[in-house]
Chain A
């Protein structure tokens, strides 16, 4: 099989997966009687029509990328963190409490402190799931989902109770929110008149850090080994349990930072609905970005566009914004299905033979007894997506 065939094969899979996801979306759009073409056009182009739209895409991409980076660390280390939503909430609580409690601290101290507090809050929440998995074998998907619900209740409890803005009680409106965060903790706006804030640089910087951590340090090497084949890592002396916990701490910390940056940069107080499903979209971003920082940054922009576009379809094409959840679900299913075909020598071989049968081109037989069958060198086989290792020989 030659290189161009492999490329065409992989490209065909990507196109098929994209078509399948769009197709599921189209069925739902048709079901609500929308003009399918127009709805997709609105989602994909309307936000790009003015500066506000473009900056708003980035505003959404900032928490998405941070969360996705964390999820990539967890997935690469063999633990499926579905709990970013809850970890983000805990980050928001810790970060806003810290900023509000220390209003007089100088700005160069307060901003990092507030963000670190957010990281700690998220890390605590992620770490619980990590410890439960490492020490007691609790399925992390279930535990993180449950921790999301618990965090949501805790969040509401604090915003309606101990952390509620006293003004709200006086005024009697009772909106569950904290007081305004002191100005010294705010992240600057980059462009006047927009909400674009310096959190963007934090996200880019942390993307670099995550890349170096995973692919350039011995700790990252061990984490990836534990994720790719826990047994072999254990046999090689890696304390898999310890790295599971570390991965969940880091993953939660990044989600916590996402929450912290979101309130310091955008809302400037903790209110209900800040997280708004970012924790779940972050999973899709991480997968779409190939669990790699270089893919996650563009993927987060794309999903920032989708989120904003879906808000706009409500107004412009009469399609409820929940539509974006449909697309996200369909995209996940399409990605995980397609992954099993890409770089899979068995599937490639079958496709090649099917083609040659269809077009009558004789397939040159493999030399008898050739033992080596090496597919393209790729470390792109990610631990959580690869399933069984591909064995190319018998």
Chain B
């Protein structure tokens, strides 16, 4: 294998790898902009991956098999929304501390997905998954076509969602409210904006996105489900939001950075380079820590009330 094809391989692998991180990261961006830090993202992704896997698994061979993937995606988003709302109940209504509540949600998601998986499926089983959909003409462009336009539809959707989320956040009334309740909820409240409602909505959207991200893992990336399928990607997505300074484009760049690191790790193994496998697997996790250590606290950019519950009758 020569150097050029080695790099090309990393790029071709890296772009689809970024999708789960990107989808979850976009949702988490909305959560954090609204002032809520949702570490439960990891658990929601596990649940999303699991429920999305069910329709193709059970409907194989039936007349519904053709739309099983779509049903799975929808199911993952619904379950993600429900878990997002459960988290909202705990941290918005009950004002529980968000960090530790997120760990609780993570365990709950892992636990439910694992329990149901063991009971209904048992062992690792593959599903057909979502097929690639090369874009006509564009995919024929040398190099670029392979890297960008020869993937499954979710890849294109995820990258199209970046400008959509930018628009939602900065150009719509709801985005304005989201940014206000994450920075100065008291001011939003004084203008008749229901802080709790906006945070519930944000967490519902974030949950749906995390569910979709999980579904991507089981249906498009791995084409199977396993207990440890998510493997910390939910936590990495949370870290990406800091890295991307709460901006959809920043989050996209971060997702690409990590997925390329992961692709590099895989390519090293495939290429048979003499480097301990375990250290290659560590790479993305080490990268998260390095990136977090390098990102300086940005002033006047992000949500300043991140992590703080709001109580109207609590005096300043």
Contact = CB atoms under 8 A, between A and B. Distances in A.
Direct contact of A and B (CB under 8 A): yes
Interface string A6-30: 0000000000000000001000100
A150 interface: yes
A24 B108 CA distance: 9
A340 to B, nearest CB: 5
A276 to B, nearest CB: 13
Interface stretch (B8-16, B186-194, B281-289): B281-289
A170 to B, nearest CB: 22
A326 to B, nearest CB: 4
Contacts of B278: 153-154, 156-157, 160
B292 interface: yes
Interface in A202-231: none
A388 B115 contact: no
Contacts of B118: 320, 322
Contact of A323 (B111, B279, B285, B315): B111
A125 B88 CA distance: 33
Contact of B95 (A322, A387, A394): A387
Interface string A156-196: 11001100000000000000000000000000000000000
Given A138-B293, A329-B109, A149 B101 contact: no
B115 A28 contact: yes
A141 B103 contact: yes
A368 B235 CA distance: 51
A376 B218 CA distance: 51
Interface string B87-110: 001100011110111111111111
Contacts of A44: none
A87 interface: no
Contact of A336 (B100, B281, B297, B308): B100
A320 B242 CA distance: 37
B104 A388 contact: no
Contact of B289 (A147, A154, A156, A287): A147
Contacts of A88: none
Nearest to A390: B314
B292 A329 contact: no
B40 to A, nearest CB: 9
Contacts of B309: 387-388
A153 B232 CA distance: 13
Interface in B71-98: 86, 89-90, 94-97
B39 interface: yes
A244 B246 CA distance: 27
Interface string B261-283: 00000000000000010110110
A145 B232 contact: yes
A257 interface: no
A333 B107 CA distance: 10
A320 B123 CA distance: 12
A141 B111 contact: no
A283 B105 CA distance: 13
Contacts of B43: 329
A154 B282 CA distance: 8
Contacts of B89: 337
Interface string A325-368: 11111111100110111000010000000000000000000000
A105 interface: no
B282 A150 contact: yes
A66 interface: no
Given A332-B103, A333-B101, A138 B292 contact: yes
Given A32-B115, A320-B114, A391-B315, A330 B289 contact: no
Given A28-B112, A391-B315, A333 B232 contact: no
A283 B282 CA distance: 24
A134 B267 CA distance: 36
A331 B281 CA distance: 32
Contacts of B96: 333, 336-337, 339-340, 385, 387
A139 interface: yes
A237 B93 CA distance: 36
Nearest to B94: A337
A150 B110 CA distance: 20
B316 to A, nearest CB: 9
Given A160-B278, A326-B108, 14 more contacts: A28-B112, A142-B235, A142-B288, A146-B288, A157-B278, A320-B115, A325-B111, A329-B43, A333-B104, A336-B96, A336-B104, A384-B99, A384-B100, A385-B96
20 contacts: A28-B116, A132-B293, A136-B293, A146-B286, A154-B282, A161-B276, A320-B118, A324-B111, A325-B108, A327-B111, A329-B43, A332-B100, A333-B104, A333-B105, A333-B108, A340-B96, A346-B313, A346-B314, A385-B97, A388-B308
Interface of A: 24, 28, 31-33, 80, 82, 132, 136-139, 141-143, 145-147, 149-150, 153-154, 156-157, 160-161, 280, 283-284, 287, 318-320, 322-333, 336-337, 339-341, 346, 384-388, 391, 394
